[in-house]
Structure 1
Amino acid sequence: MSDLYLSTGRKEGAAGSLYWPVRFTNTSTSSCALRGYPGVSVLDTAHHQIGPAATRSGRSYGTVTLSPGHSASATIRTTNGPVGGACLRTGTYLRIYPPASRTAALLPAPWTICSGVFQVGPVNTEGVF
């Protein structure tokens, strides 16, 4: 975990959904491998969790090997507003556990879970959900 730098990409909306990539960048001097889904939850300013953790999108995945300085991402998704359900209050941070890690990173990132939809896709290099 100490050799991964986490950041967010640009939020994008499509077909009633809001997507936001979470980028994992290898900052070590050797390759590392990531496989599967990160754990993601939304926290308020006091680091209390807002709503449930993200569920997995169900997409198949493989192992992603990152050379030093290279990145892969996992995309989080919610609805683009209250579509069939209310929105929770906006969080201040995303708590992210890289796949197979028990150490989380906190990213300052405003995120609002709407309509009970909060999903995460697997880590990949294609940018797919």
Structure 2
Amino acid sequence: CSLFDAVPAGSASKSEQQGDTGTGTTGGGSEGGTGGSSGTVTSESGTGGSTSGGTGGSTSGGRTTTQGGSGDGSGSCATSDLKASIGPNHPGAGQENFALVFTNDSGESCTVRGFPGLAFLNADGEQVSFDPQREGSAGKAVTLAPGKSAWAPLSFSNPEMTGVPTVTPDSVLLTPPDQRTSLKIDWSGGPVTATGKASVPKIGALSAGTSA
């Protein structure tokens, strides 16, 4: 598998880390799950590398003109415009389900569209799980006014039910669509699957709000 696509568990402040935008996965969600922890974003030296099905994108820095955007003239959200968090687990039907949330932390509206990147990391900053698979279409552009959020579903098989190999990440990298810098936050969601077969994590496209 290729290394380094990004995402987090818990709230995070802004940081910039080199890394390609990520692959995606969707996740459903049933009611009532275990809580997620908050985490702070820390900056690190870049770790290059593209991921399977990465969104590709503009370099970090200022906003770019939205392609096929919302029509309101907002530019694409740069990583520096956003803060990231991961909602609590909402397990159901043999799945672990989390919401990957990006919140506009700037003073201007900006737009996101498509799949965020995600990579689970160990304490040494090394990727410890396969790149997630995308599910569904890229969806519509979401314009984020200051303080507003968009979320993408992350899901993977319940390791206790499947018996597949697992790993417990220390942190996660989240990369906004069309960006090459990432946000790093602590992961408190427990073990994740560490096999590239049917139980590989899945991620869906961003939509408005903080969860379904």
TM-score (norm. length: structure 1) = 0.90
- Name the Cα RMSD after superposition: 1.7
Correspondence for 1:113? 192
Match of 1:89 among 120, 143, 167: 167
Query: Identity over aligned residues, as a percent?
Result: 30
1:50: how far off?
0.6
How far apart are 1:117 and its partner, in Å?
Answer: 2.1
Q: Are 1:33 and 2:111 an aligned pair?
A: yes
Deviation larger for 9-18 or 83-92:
83-92
Show structure 1 runs of 4+ deviating over 3 A: 82-85
- What residue identity is the alignment partner of 2:117? G
Greater strand share, structure number: 1
**Who is 1:58 aligned against?**
136
Deviation per CA, 1:3-49, whole angstroms, max 9, x where unpaired? Answer: 10101111110111011111100011110100000011110010100
Task: Indicate if the aligned counterparts of 1:37 and 1:74 stay in contact, CA closer than 8 A.
Answer: yes
* Code of the aligned partner of 1:23: V
What is the CA–CA distance in structure 2 between the aligned matches of 1:14 and 1:123, rounded to whole Å?
A: 21
Q: Is the 8 A contact 1:43 1:95 kept in 2?
A: yes
Larger-gyration structure (1/2): 2
Residue 62 (structure 1) shift: 0.7
- Counterpart for residue 42 of structure 1: 120
Q: Distance in 2 between matches of 1:35 and 1:82?
A: 34
Distance 2:107 2:173 in 1: 26
Q: One-letter code of the match for 2:192? A: I
Number of aligned pairs? 128
Whole-Å separation in 2 of the counterparts to 1:110 and 1:29: 30
**What amino acid is aligned across from residue 91 of structure 1 in structure 2?**
P
SS of the residue 1:86 aligns to: coil
2:113, 2:138 within 8 Å by CA — same for their partners in 1? no
Task: Give the partner amino acid of 1:48.
Answer: E
Contact in 2 for aligned 1:50/1:88 (Cα 8 Å): no
